A and B are shown apart, each in its own frame.
Chain A
Amino acid sequence: GENVEQHPSTLSVQEGDSAVIKCTYSDSASNYFPWYKQELGKRPQLIIDIRSNVGEKKDQRIAVTLNKTAKHFSLHITETQPEDSAVYFCAARYTGTASKLTFGTGTRLQVTL
Chain B
Amino acid sequence: DVKVTQSSRYLVKRTGEKVFLECVQDMDHENMFWYRQDPGLGLRLIYFSYDVKMKEKGDIPEGYSVSREKKERFSLILESASTNQTSMYLCASSLSPILAGVREQFFGPGTRLTVL
- Which A residues have a C-beta under 8 Å from some C-beta of B? 1, 6, 9, 31-32, 34, 42-46, 49, 89, 91, 93, 98-106
Contact = CB atoms under 8 A, between A and B. Distances in A.
Contacts of B31: 98-99
B63 interface: no
Given A43-B108, A43-B110, A99 B50 contact: yes
Contacts of B108: 43
Contacts of A46: 104-105
Interface of B: 4, 31, 33, 35, 40-45, 48, 50, 56, 58-59, 90, 94, 96-97, 102-105, 107-110
A52 to B, nearest CB: 11
Nearest 4 CB-CB pairings of A with B: A105-B42, A43-B107, A103-B43, A103-B42
Contacts of B33: 99-100
Given A6-B42, A9-B40, A101-B105, A44 B97 contact: no
Contact of A44 (B40, B103, B107): B107
Contact of A99 (B41, B90, B94, B107): B94
A15 to B, nearest CB: 26
A94 B2 CA distance: 25
Contacts of A89: 42-43
29 contacts: A9-B40, A31-B102, A32-B102, A34-B104, A43-B90, A43-B108, A44-B43, A44-B90, A44-B107, A49-B104, A89-B42, A91-B43, A98-B31, A98-B50, A98-B96, A98-B97, A99-B31, A99-B33, A99-B48, A99-B94, A99-B96, A99-B105, A100-B33, A100-B48, A100-B56, A101-B45, A102-B45, A103-B42, A106-B40
